[in-house]
Amino acid sequence: MAPNATLFHFEVELSDVDRGVYEMLDFRAARHPSESSAYLVSRTLAYCLSYEEGIGFSKAGVSSTDEPPVVVRDPTGRLLAWIDVGSPAAERLHKAAKACGRVSVFTSSDLGLLRRAARSGLVHGAAGIAIWTFAAGFVEKLEPYFERHAAFGLVRSEGHLYFTSKGASIDGALASSSLLDAEAE
Protein backbone atom coordinates (compact mmCIF):
# COMPACT_ATOMS: atom_id res chain seq x y z
CA MET A 1 0.00 0.00 0.00
CA ALA A 2 1.33 3.44 -0.92
CA PRO A 3 2.31 5.86 1.86
CA ASN A 4 -0.67 7.82 3.19
CA ALA A 5 -3.07 5.68 1.17
CA THR A 6 -6.49 5.04 2.69
CA LEU A 7 -7.67 1.45 2.81
CA PHE A 8 -11.26 0.78 1.74
CA HIS A 9 -13.08 -2.47 2.49
CA PHE A 10 -15.85 -3.53 0.10
CA GLU A 11 -18.45 -6.26 0.44
CA VAL A 12 -20.29 -6.69 -2.84
CA GLU A 13 -23.15 -8.96 -3.81
CA LEU A 14 -22.42 -9.27 -7.53
CA SER A 15 -25.03 -10.55 -9.97
CA ASP A 16 -23.57 -10.15 -13.44
CA VAL A 17 -26.39 -11.67 -15.45
CA ASP A 18 -24.78 -10.71 -18.76
CA ARG A 19 -21.66 -12.80 -17.98
CA GLY A 20 -23.28 -15.43 -15.72
CA VAL A 21 -21.15 -14.42 -12.71
CA TYR A 22 -22.78 -14.51 -9.28
CA GLU A 23 -20.40 -13.92 -6.37
CA MET A 24 -20.15 -12.50 -2.89
CA LEU A 25 -17.00 -10.38 -3.09
CA ASP A 26 -15.02 -9.22 -0.07
CA PHE A 27 -11.94 -7.18 -0.99
CA ARG A 28 -9.86 -4.17 -0.09
CA ALA A 29 -8.63 -1.30 -2.24
CA ALA A 30 -6.02 1.29 -1.31
CA ARG A 31 -6.93 4.83 -2.35
CA HIS A 32 -3.90 6.97 -3.12
CA PRO A 33 -4.13 10.59 -1.88
CA SER A 34 -4.08 11.82 -5.49
CA GLU A 35 -6.94 9.52 -6.54
CA SER A 36 -10.34 11.16 -6.91
CA SER A 37 -13.41 9.51 -5.42
CA ALA A 38 -14.85 9.14 -8.94
CA TYR A 39 -11.74 7.21 -10.00
CA LEU A 40 -12.01 4.94 -6.94
CA VAL A 41 -15.66 4.23 -7.78
CA SER A 42 -14.82 3.52 -11.45
CA ARG A 43 -11.87 1.30 -10.50
CA THR A 44 -14.01 -0.65 -8.02
CA LEU A 45 -16.82 -1.09 -10.57
CA ALA A 46 -14.27 -2.23 -13.18
CA TYR A 47 -12.99 -4.83 -10.70
CA CYS A 48 -16.50 -6.12 -9.98
CA LEU A 49 -17.68 -6.12 -13.60
CA SER A 50 -14.52 -7.93 -14.75
CA TYR A 51 -14.42 -10.33 -11.82
CA GLU A 52 -12.83 -13.70 -12.49
CA GLU A 53 -10.24 -15.89 -10.84
CA GLY A 54 -6.86 -14.13 -10.71
CA ILE A 55 -8.20 -10.56 -10.65
CA GLY A 56 -6.54 -7.94 -8.48
CA PHE A 57 -5.54 -4.35 -8.16
CA SER A 58 -2.16 -3.17 -9.41
CA LYS A 59 0.60 -3.73 -6.87
CA ALA A 60 2.37 -0.61 -8.17
CA GLY A 61 -0.60 1.65 -7.43
CA VAL A 62 -2.89 3.74 -9.58
CA SER A 63 -0.17 6.08 -10.81
CA SER A 64 1.89 3.31 -12.42
CA THR A 65 2.50 3.56 -16.15
CA ASP A 66 3.66 -0.06 -16.24
CA GLU A 67 0.54 -1.69 -14.82
CA PRO A 68 -3.20 -1.15 -15.15
CA PRO A 69 -5.34 -0.27 -12.14
CA VAL A 70 -6.98 -3.72 -12.39
CA VAL A 71 -5.24 -6.83 -13.66
CA VAL A 72 -6.00 -10.51 -14.22
CA ARG A 73 -3.12 -12.95 -13.93
CA ASP A 74 -2.91 -16.71 -14.20
CA PRO A 75 -1.45 -18.77 -11.28
CA THR A 76 2.07 -18.39 -12.74
CA GLY A 77 1.76 -14.58 -12.76
CA ARG A 78 1.33 -14.25 -16.53
CA LEU A 79 -0.79 -11.23 -17.51
CA LEU A 80 -4.17 -12.30 -18.94
CA ALA A 81 -6.16 -9.03 -18.88
CA TRP A 82 -5.28 -5.34 -18.65
CA ILE A 83 -8.26 -3.38 -17.27
CA ASP A 84 -7.86 0.39 -17.37
CA VAL A 85 -10.05 3.17 -16.03
CA GLY A 86 -10.79 6.70 -17.19
CA SER A 87 -9.13 8.05 -20.31
CA PRO A 88 -5.76 6.35 -20.72
CA ALA A 89 -3.22 7.63 -23.23
CA ALA A 90 -2.92 5.96 -26.63
CA GLU A 91 0.67 4.92 -25.81
CA ARG A 92 -0.53 3.18 -22.65
CA LEU A 93 -3.18 1.17 -24.52
CA HIS A 94 -0.67 0.36 -27.27
CA LYS A 95 1.65 -1.10 -24.64
CA ALA A 96 -1.25 -2.94 -22.99
CA ALA A 97 -2.40 -4.58 -26.23
CA LYS A 98 1.14 -5.75 -26.93
CA ALA A 99 1.47 -7.13 -23.37
CA CYS A 100 -1.67 -9.28 -23.35
CA GLY A 101 -4.56 -10.38 -25.49
CA ARG A 102 -7.41 -8.85 -23.48
CA VAL A 103 -7.58 -5.10 -22.87
CA SER A 104 -10.59 -3.13 -21.66
CA VAL A 105 -11.32 0.38 -20.45
CA PHE A 106 -14.10 1.44 -18.08
CA THR A 107 -14.88 5.13 -18.46
CA SER A 108 -17.31 8.00 -18.17
CA SER A 109 -15.12 10.13 -20.44
CA ASP A 110 -15.43 11.12 -24.07
CA LEU A 111 -12.82 9.03 -25.87
CA GLY A 112 -12.87 10.95 -29.16
CA LEU A 113 -9.16 11.84 -29.11
CA LEU A 114 -8.19 8.31 -28.13
CA ARG A 115 -10.38 6.84 -30.88
CA ARG A 116 -8.78 9.13 -33.47
CA ALA A 117 -5.30 8.07 -32.30
CA ALA A 118 -6.37 4.42 -32.57
CA ARG A 119 -7.69 4.88 -36.13
CA SER A 120 -4.41 6.49 -37.14
CA GLY A 121 -2.59 3.31 -36.18
CA LEU A 122 -1.04 4.53 -32.93
CA VAL A 123 -2.66 1.75 -30.86
CA HIS A 124 -1.74 -1.89 -31.51
CA GLY A 125 -4.80 -4.15 -31.65
CA ALA A 126 -7.21 -1.24 -31.24
CA ALA A 127 -10.15 -3.16 -32.73
CA GLY A 128 -9.91 -5.69 -29.90
CA ILE A 129 -9.86 -3.17 -27.06
CA ALA A 130 -13.22 -3.20 -25.27
CA ILE A 131 -14.66 0.09 -24.06
CA TRP A 132 -17.26 0.09 -21.30
CA THR A 133 -18.90 3.50 -20.86
CA PHE A 134 -20.87 4.35 -17.72
CA ALA A 135 -23.95 6.53 -18.20
CA ALA A 136 -23.35 10.24 -17.64
CA GLY A 137 -23.51 11.03 -13.93
CA PHE A 138 -23.75 7.38 -12.81
CA VAL A 139 -20.33 7.22 -11.14
CA GLU A 140 -20.86 10.56 -9.38
CA LYS A 141 -24.20 9.36 -7.95
CA LEU A 142 -22.41 6.38 -6.35
CA GLU A 143 -19.62 8.39 -4.68
CA PRO A 144 -21.48 9.02 -1.37
CA TYR A 145 -21.89 5.26 -0.88
CA PHE A 146 -18.17 4.49 -1.18
CA GLU A 147 -17.16 4.87 2.43
CA ARG A 148 -14.12 3.21 4.06
CA HIS A 149 -16.31 0.19 4.71
CA ALA A 150 -19.04 -0.19 2.12
CA ALA A 151 -21.48 -2.97 1.40
CA PHE A 152 -23.56 -2.88 -1.76
CA GLY A 153 -25.30 -4.92 -4.41
CA LEU A 154 -24.35 -4.63 -8.07
CA VAL A 155 -26.37 -6.15 -10.89
CA ARG A 156 -25.57 -6.02 -14.60
CA SER A 157 -28.39 -7.14 -16.86
CA GLU A 158 -28.85 -6.44 -20.56
CA GLY A 159 -26.29 -3.63 -20.54
CA HIS A 160 -27.77 -1.90 -17.52
CA LEU A 161 -26.28 -1.49 -14.02
CA TYR A 162 -28.28 -1.53 -10.82
CA PHE A 163 -26.56 -0.44 -7.60
CA THR A 164 -28.17 -0.82 -4.17
CA SER A 165 -26.85 0.33 -0.81
CA LYS A 166 -28.40 1.53 2.44
CA GLY A 167 -31.92 1.41 0.99
CA ALA A 168 -30.99 3.46 -2.08
CA SER A 169 -31.19 2.21 -5.66
CA ILE A 170 -29.29 3.83 -8.51
CA ASP A 171 -29.27 2.58 -12.08
CA GLY A 172 -27.65 3.52 -15.35
CA ALA A 173 -26.64 2.13 -18.70
CA LEU A 174 -23.27 0.52 -19.35
CA ALA A 175 -22.55 0.82 -23.07
CA SER A 176 -20.17 -1.60 -24.75
CA SER A 177 -18.06 -0.72 -27.78
CA SER A 178 -14.65 -1.16 -29.34
CA LEU A 179 -11.93 1.46 -29.31
CA LEU A 180 -12.44 1.78 -33.07
CA ASP A 181 -16.22 2.26 -32.91
CA ALA A 182 -17.09 5.67 -34.29
CA GLU A 183 -20.61 6.13 -32.91
CA ALA A 184 -19.32 7.14 -29.47
CA GLU A 185 -17.62 10.29 -30.84
Which of 112, 42, 124 lies closest to 83 in space, CA to CA?
42
List residues bridging with 6 in a β-sheet: 31
What strand order describes the sheet that includes 55-57?
Answer: 21-31, 6-16, 149-157, 160-165, 168-178, 130-134, 102-107, 79-85, 70-73, 55-57
The amino acid at residue 180 is L
How high is the pLDDT of residue 61?
Answer: 67
Query: Structure pTM?
Result: 0.93
The domains of the chain, with CATH numbers, are 7-178 (3.10.640.10)
One digit per residue, the tens of pLDDT, for the chain of length 185 reads: 556 889 999 999 999 999 999 999 999 999 988 899 999 999 999 999 999 999 999 887 676 778 899 999 999 999 999 999 998 988 899 999 999 989 999 999 888 888 887 888 788 888 899 999 999 999 999 999 999 999 999 999 999 999 999 999 999 999 999 988 754 44
Measure the CA–CA gap between 83 and 145, rounded to whole angstroms.
23
